Amino acid sequence: MLWRSWVAWQGVRMTAQAALRAALREVVGPAARGEGFSGSAPTWRMTNALGDWAVVSVQTSRYSTASSLHCVLNTAVAPAPWLAWQQQSLGSLPQAVPESLGLYRRRLHPTGTPAARDGWWEITGDDDARTAATDMVTQLATDGWPILRQLLHREAMLDQIRCGDLGFLQADHSPAYFARAEALLLAELGPSLQLDQALTTATQNTAPTHQNQDRAFADWVRARTTR
């Protein structure tokens, strides 16, 4: 607040980026900490005893200028088994889990955004930034914090996978992806018929060029049941 007052006293117009940073720090940050998330703008995280992560992050458009920017809220949950497989596939992971590595990923839009439209907040100055940050807190209170906390419970995440809804991805378009996700979580519970069924769905009817990858995935998952 002191820096914002100094800027106003000097008569200097804040850039859109500076206005957003201040609003996130003063409005969204306290709300995130109140919900048990830690971090600082533009990203806040929560973890559980199993090493699963929930992430909230504000993304700004690459086409932003000093006088105008657009931003949107991205939320994610990344279970530890999913992150372990990502590390196996990618070789390494960032020290802090980014939203992009979530298994469940969902975008939150400004109030009033029509369904199926990718609406973003527009920031041109301090007033816009504070209005947007306040609306972000409203969206998070309804469709952010409660869902993220719920999905940090493994059974709830399994139910979400079996319902065919992982936010950006739907099971109708990616059945093998959902089967892999289910297999990763089931493996933590040990060998089971459900796990065998999930692995069969995850690896059947794939292109010949993917068969080696599918076999490696199935072997890796089964190995985790004996840990």
Tell me if 196 sits within 8 A of 182, measured CB to CB. no
- The pLDDT of residue 61 is 94
- The pLDDT of residue 2 is 45
- The pLDDT of residue 227 is 77
Residues with pLDDT less than 70, the chain: 1-13, 205-207
Give the DSSP letter of residue 208.
G
- Provide the residue ranges of all domains of the chain, joining segments of one domain with +: 8-154, 174-224
Rg (CA), the chain: 20
- The pLDDT of residue 9 is 36
Q: What are the CA-CA distances from residue 219 to residues 204, 215, 216, 223, 226 (Å)?
A: 15, 6, 5, 6, 12
Give the β-pairing of 43-47 and 104-108. unpaired
